[in-house]
Amino acid sequence: MSIAFIVKGQSFFKVAAPLVTAASRLGIPSTFVVYETRRGKEHDDVTGDIIEATFLKCERSCMPEPAFVRDDAGCLDAITQRRIEHVVVQDAQAHFPFLLRHSGLCCSSIGVFTDTMHWARLWFKQELIPEMTYFPDELCKRKTEELCGHEWPGKCLGSPMFDHTAWLETKPKGDGSVLLLSPDQRLLSQLQKEEIEQLRRMLGDRFRVLQRKKHAKSDVNVLKNDTIPYRSLSELAAADIHINCYSISGFEAQFLGRPMLNLETELIDASSGNVLVKSYRLDEIYERDNRVTIKRGGLIDAYERFVVNQRYLQRVVSDSDVETLYSTAILRDVMNIHDHVVL
């Protein structure tokens, strides 16, 4: 079987790197097709430097030489020339509908948390549901089906994004450190901004901030050098407590067992992904165990309670976990599906 991992933007590169590594471990010949640019979202482009830096963190020997393409036509040419039989992509229904319509090609789709939900909620077309989607968990599958009102064929084998923890230091520092994944500042009230600044002054160097480039205009400190796609996961793994505002990093906090303070937003504008996520009522992510949503003020008090009460199990990933990557389970299933499909 010949397989291609097709990447358009850093989000799927974050998914693809462990899949490529798993393919190498399983002895599956693979091709790495990378779009040179993501039109309209150039800040999300996958550059050679990002590819090199990521695979240095994983296993450099596993990385096939990437084939860079300019557009969908170039992507089709690349997989046709290489006689690719099976492609693995992120959210095929949203980013690669032309592959779903291409006869003679198997296409496996990796569902990415709330990104898949957004498509189901806003742009749903039944004819574009992939034959197989690999969801991170049952919650994501169930909520996707609820939002579109249709059954969605898929399996819940975990998220390849989490596999990056096999190459990261995942033991929390134990010093009350905080990672804030800063949202669009319109989402936060003046009181919330003042509390964030107060907490930053309290903690000094133990207070870290990450922010997406599209949210760069901010009145909070911003970490630089955020080119490695899994930077949010690595920073979160190194912190004791995570603060966000309906970000998908909530799923990462749940996976790592990190206490999380989710900041409520009163913004009504549904063009914001964070506001959409709030409307999905994902209480299992934002309102369970050691994860709580701060409704109106109270951030400092909640932080202090979490620092005192550290009884929750927090995941520490060891080298042995590399052998049980979610990517490995997904690719074994992909191989099984391919073997039962007549092209």
Find the helix packing angle between 299-308 and 190-203, rounded to 10°.
40
DSSP 159: -
Indicate if 205 and 257 belong to the same structural domain.
Answer: yes
- Give the mean pLDDT of the chain: 85
Tell me, yes or no, whether 316 lies in a domain: no
How far is residue 123's CA from residue 275's CA, in Å, rounded to a whole number?
A: 17
How far is residue 243's CA from residue 135's CA, in Å, rounded to a whole number?
A: 25
- 88 versus 307: the higher-pLDDT residue is 88
Assess whether pLDDT exceeds 80 at residue 129. Answer: yes
How far is residue 157's CA from residue 332's CA, in Å, rounded to a whole number?
A: 11
Question: Residue 21: which pLDDT band, with cuts at 50, 70 and 90?
Answer: confident
Tell me, yes or no, whether 258 lies in a domain: yes
Tell me, yes or no, whether 314 lies in a domain: no
Task: List the CATH number of the domain containing 329.
Answer: 3.40.50.2000
Query: How far, CA to CA in Å, does 194 sit from each of 191, 236, 275?
Result: 5, 22, 21
pLDDT at position 287: 92
Q: Strand pairing of 207-211 and 241-244?
A: unpaired
CA angle at 275 for the pair 273 and 280, rounded to the nearest 5°: 95
CA end-to-end distance (rounded Å), the chain: 11
| Span 33-74, pLDDT tens digits | 999 988 777 777 888 777 777 766 666 666 778 899 999 999
CB under 8 Å to 206, separation ≥6 — which residues? 173, 175, 176, 177, 178
| Span 273-287, pLDDT tens digits | 889 999 999 999 999
Indicate if 85 and 159 belong to the same structural domain.
Answer: yes
Task: List the CATH number of the domain containing 282.
Answer: 3.40.50
Indicate if 33 and 117 belong to the same structural domain.
Answer: yes
Indicate if 47 and 95 belong to the same structural domain.
Answer: yes
pLDDT at position 148: 97
Nearest alpha-carbon partner for 124 in 140, 143, 101, 147: 147
Alpha helices in 82-134 (DSSP H): 92-95, 97-100, 113-122
pLDDT at position 33: 94
pTM of structure: 0.89
How far is residue 187's CA from residue 251's CA, in Å, rounded to a whole number?
A: 20
Number of domain units in the chain: 2
Beta strands in 91-214 (DSSP E): 106-110, 133-135, 154-156, 178-182, 207-211
- 168 versus 315: the higher-pLDDT residue is 168
Assess whether pLDDT exceeds 90 at residue 251. Answer: yes
Indicate if 146 and 84 belong to the same structural domain.
Answer: yes
| Span 179-217, pLDDT tens digits | 999 888 888 999 999 999 999 999 999 999 887 665 555
Q: Let me know how long the chain is.
A: 343
How far is residue 297's CA from residue 102's CA, in Å, rounded to a whole number?
A: 52
Tell me, yes or no, whether 181 lies in a domain: yes
pLDDT at position 222: 47
Range of the domain at 279: 169-308
Question: Residue 311: which pLDDT band, with cuts at 50, 70 and 90?
Answer: low
Indicate if 194 and 76 belong to the same structural domain.
Answer: no
